Amino acid sequence: MQTMFNLNSNRFLLPWNYIRTSICEALIKYWKLCLKCLLVNWFDPDYTPQRTTLSGHMTSVIACLQVEDNYVITGGCDKMIRVYNLVNKRFLLQLSGHDGEVWALKYAHGGILVSVSTDRTVRVWDIKKGCCTHVFKGHNSTVRCLDIVEYKNIKYIVTGSRDNTLHVWKLPKEFSVPDHGEEHDYPLVFHTPEENPYFVGVLRGHTATVRTVSGHGNIVISGSYDNTLIVWDVAQMKCLYILSGHTDRIYSTIYDHERKRCISASMDTTIRIWDLENIRNNGECSYATNSASPCVKILGAMYTLRGHRALVGLLGLSDKFLVSASADGSIRCWDANTYFLKHFFDHTQLNTITALHVSDEVLVSGSEGLLNIYDLNSGLLVRSDTLSGADNVWNVSFKDNTLVAAVERDKRNLLEILDFS
């Protein structure tokens, strides 16, 4: 009779692959069960979540919202950034310093935040200290978008502007801001790129506003009002591909780094999918010699998704779903692998979709006076009166069992936190 293992013979005959597979399957089943328990209240129309309402920005538009760690961070047209504690659902602090509207922000790590503004600057903040640590100047017009990517232990800030360029900066590693009361020269203001030790360079190639940027690792994709996308290698500061095919302005892009694909949405009412792993799966390739940074020009995407009747301004991506939202009031949910249409949702009265957040299980969308919650497994609208009384929903996000929405009600900006625990 053969034993499972023999210590003397140094042979280990235990079927480890079988045990490992069984453990993984058990963990997946347990995780799915926990997730189902977490979501049961979301999908129960009779359940009333605990609602906390906090004061928001002074002006009518909250341009950006992010939920990271235990922070809720918003940027507005009042030039301010407001930070809230997601755990105790309280306002923490306000960050002031920008001289223009705050259009985009990105949380980096450990309380470090980056923001961009119509004042043409990029600001780095230390939330824990409650102050701005660095101000980067260099753009000649409104800075419209940004992303932060990490490659070989270096974090890069990539900003896109109405001056048609992208600027690349290294995120400062050390933050030694003195305590209150000590003399210091913070924030460190760099008036020109030449004097800035964190400045990497300028990426040129677009001929109109850079509206959207998305990246991972050394790859960054920019979408522009010139109807094109450009794929950049920020570590080498060079253009890899120019993606041409949209017939109108590009408003949103996502770099799906897991599948090595670029997803873009445009005023031409389409969503286009570009294969960056095998560029020959797209349209015709040629060498773009007339660009500022010579690279391969690709004419035509791998897939073109149609169905919307107006500007497609918002995209969301999870492991299972790609979601697109349009000014025609509709939301389309596509399979993230095959791009077949899975679900179609229509806001009543065809309101423009202004906010969107998606996971594999839940889709939350906002528009004028509406905040809708959808079950993506069944394809059903499960809640449509979640925030009754809201005149506008500017932004939405959720984490675990907590939903956060930046809204306008009676000409006041508010932050609504809904706890579905």
Q: Is residue 317 part of a domain?
A: yes
Is residue 369 over pLDDT 70? yes
Number of structural domains, the chain? 1
Q: Is residue 376 part of a domain?
A: yes
Dihedral sign of CA atoms 184, 190, 195, 198 in order:
positive
Q: Is residue 316 part of a domain?
A: yes
Distance CA(418)–CA(421), nearest Å, equals 9
Burial class (CB in 10 A: 0-12, 13-18, 19+), 412: middle
Q: Is residue 416 part of a domain?
A: yes
Dihedral sign of CA atoms 207, 213, 214, 217 in order:
positive
Burial class (CB in 10 A: 0-12, 13-18, 19+), 65: buried
The stretch 109-134 carries a mean pLDDT of 95
Is residue 145 over pLDDT 70? yes
Distance CA(334)–CA(324), nearest Å, equals 8
Establish how many alpha carbons lie within 13 A of residue 315's alpha carbon, considering only the half-sphere containing its beta carbon. 27
The stretch 15-39 carries a mean pLDDT of 58
Cα-atom radius of gyration of the chain, to the nearest Å?
23
Average pLDDT, the chain: 88
Q: Is residue 394 part of a domain?
A: yes
With residue 145 as reference, give the H or E element that holds it. Answer: strand 143-151
Query: Whole-angstrom distance between the N-terminal and C-terminal Cα of the chain?
Result: 54
Task: Output the pLDDT for position 380.
Answer: 93
pLDDT, one tens digit per residue, over 225-270 is: 999 999 999 999 999 999 999 999 999 999 999 999 999 999 999 9
Q: State both tokens at 70.
A: 């235990």
With residue 168 as reference, give the H or E element that holds it. Answer: strand 166-170
Task: Output the pLDDT for position 184.
Answer: 52
Distance CA(160)–CA(86), nearest Å, equals 29
Q: Is residue 261 part of a domain?
A: no
| Ramachandran class of 165: left when φ > 0, alpha when ψ lies in -120 to 50, beta otherwise | beta
Q: Is residue 152 part of a domain?
A: no
With residue 113 as reference, give the H or E element that holds it. Answer: strand 112-117
Burial class (CB in 10 A: 0-12, 13-18, 19+), 239: buried
Q: Is residue 203 part of a domain?
A: no
- Domain residues for the domain of 412 are 310-420
**Strands, DSSP E only, in 184-276?**
188-190, 199-203, 210-216, 219-224, 228-233, 238-244, 250-256, 261-266, 271-275
**Strands, DSSP E only, in 359-391?**
362-367, 370-375, 380-383
Q: Count CB atoms within 10 A of the CB of residue 172.
A: 17
CATH number at residue 399: 2.130.10.10
Is residue 23 over pLDDT 80? no
pLDDT, one tens digit per residue, over 294-337 is: 789 999 999 999 999 999 999 999 999 999 999 999 999 999 99
> DSSP characters for 19-69?
HHHHHHHHHHHHHHHHHHHHHTTTT-TT---EEEEEE--SSS-EEEEEEET
